[in-house]
A and B are shown apart, each in its own frame.
Chain A
Amino acid sequence: MTWRPVLSRSVVFRHDRVRGADLLVLPERVVVLQGNAGSIVRLCDGVRDVDAIVAELAERHPGAPVAEEVPVFLGRLRKEGWLK
């Protein structure tokens, strides 16, 4: 089955204007997303599959190693239970 990543219901994604960072806020935990990680999570809407997310980011960042790094990053977030 094609994986269409979406945030788990206990995870809230938000921008933190005080620290200028993107965050995942959980009931007992705050995860500070680094670099472009937020722009990847923003595309995890349960509609796009991983290929679509990669394609969209590749278009935005030509020449970046998107196809290698993005699936690995999404896999790590799934392993933590933050993405379903």
Chain B
Amino acid sequence: MTEVVTGVSGVTRDSGVQPPWALLAELSHGCPLHCAYCSNPTELVGRSEELTTAQWAEVFRQAADLGVVQSHLSGGEPLLRRDLTGIVAAADGAGIHTQLVTSGVGLHEKRLAALTAAGLRSVQLSVQHADPRASELIAGARSFAAKERAARLVRDAELPLGLNVVLHRANLDAVDDLVELGLAWGAERIELANTQFYGWALRNREALMPDREQIARAREGVERWRGRLAGRMELVWVVPDYIDGTAKPCMGGWGALSLTVAPDGTVYPCPAAAALPGLDAPNVKDHRLEWIWRESKTFNLYRGEEWMGDPCRGCELRTKDFGGCRCQAYALTGDATRTDPACHLSPDHALVRDLVDRPRLPGPMVAPAYAYRKEGP
């Protein structure tokens, strides 16, 4: 996700609604992979409901006017959009930096050359495991060879390559192998992102949940590699909030830094927010993006601190974690306005502790019962 470094010497923040920096464009919920950890909503948008090329181009024009400078072209699998080159050209033409977020399946030399010519700036490739068989078991599809090829193509095209690995019970013990894979594939950055439990991942929480020892070992491994890789590769560790007992500063605050446009044009403050009840999320087909960002009820619902109750209201952490994640508060307590139960100060934190410390069968992957991500009719 986008991090805004304000300053090479500090910036003053005005009061009032600030413009967004980044846009996550979910171009399609279709995907050749069926990963059980997918954070897409369990109610996926069908392909026939997707925005057209012209509609996406208009989204990017309006986003640029609003202040967006960076976009992640994601999904699902964005390569399923046959008009992806046109979408990249539209974003780049509006002055927005584009990064393709892909499984690598469907990336061919000619396709990448066209995307690069259209202005694509960077590629982030998902990896499930360093071992081909384990990788395909997690993805629920043959895909490892396609990923290896995609990495090579991106390097040959001299585009920056990042790997994104969602970490969970079945691959946390492979951190060393994953970093070595990243080195072999020429990645400049690896994001080791502990599973965030939304959408399909929430449904598969039991099978994905690591234990505390696994996390401790992986964290040590990452620290060792950081020392060795300094200056060669950036290694990002996205914290396991359930285990750390610390609420994440979700999205940098509700309606603060970025917005998500779903395949059908519905606009959300975050990619998981479709699961929240009563959100009444607006659509780019009905409203201008500026109104959606500044005025809509959806984007103002949890903006700032007004909505906060105790213990967030009087807590000094609120300026750092913004009360944590609304979707997680809802998923665990049924009330989106409560303090994120991942926080050790939350009165609901026992819910999280019990999930982590629940006795489980030994071993990293004893016949995991994944509910693989499937598209609807």
Contacts and interface: CB of A to CB of B under 8 A. Distances in A.
Interface of A: 9-10, 12, 14, 16, 18-19, 23, 25, 27-35, 37, 73, 76-77, 81
B99 A27 contact: yes
B11 A34 contact: yes
A25 B69 contact: yes
Contact of A16 (B3, B67, B158, B160): B67
B7 A34 contact: yes
Interface of B: 1-11, 19, 21-22, 65-67, 69-70, 95, 97, 99, 121-122, 124, 158-160, 162, 188-189, 191, 231, 234, 236
A27 B98 CA distance: 8
B3 A27 contact: no
Contacts of A34: 7-11
Contacts of A77: 8
30 contacts: A10-B122, A10-B160, A14-B95, A16-B69, A18-B19, A19-B19, A23-B69, A25-B70, A27-B97, A27-B121, A28-B1, A28-B2, A28-B162, A28-B189, A30-B2, A30-B3, A30-B69, A30-B70, A31-B8, A32-B4, A32-B5, A32-B6, A32-B7, A33-B8, A34-B7, A34-B8, A34-B10, A35-B9, A73-B8, A76-B8
A50 B10 CA distance: 24
Contacts of A9: 158-160
Contacts of A25: 69-70, 97
A66 to B, nearest CB: 16
Most buried by B among A28, A31, A33, A35: A28
Most buried by B among A27, A28, A32, A77: A27
Contacts, number: 73
A28 B3 contact: yes
A23 B21 CA distance: 11
B10 A19 contact: no
A73 B158 CA distance: 27
Given A27-B160, A27-B162, A28-B189, A14 B69 contact: yes
Most buried by A among B6, B10, B191: B6
Contacts of B159: 9
Contact of A32 (B11, B162, B188): B11
A77 B8 CA distance: 9
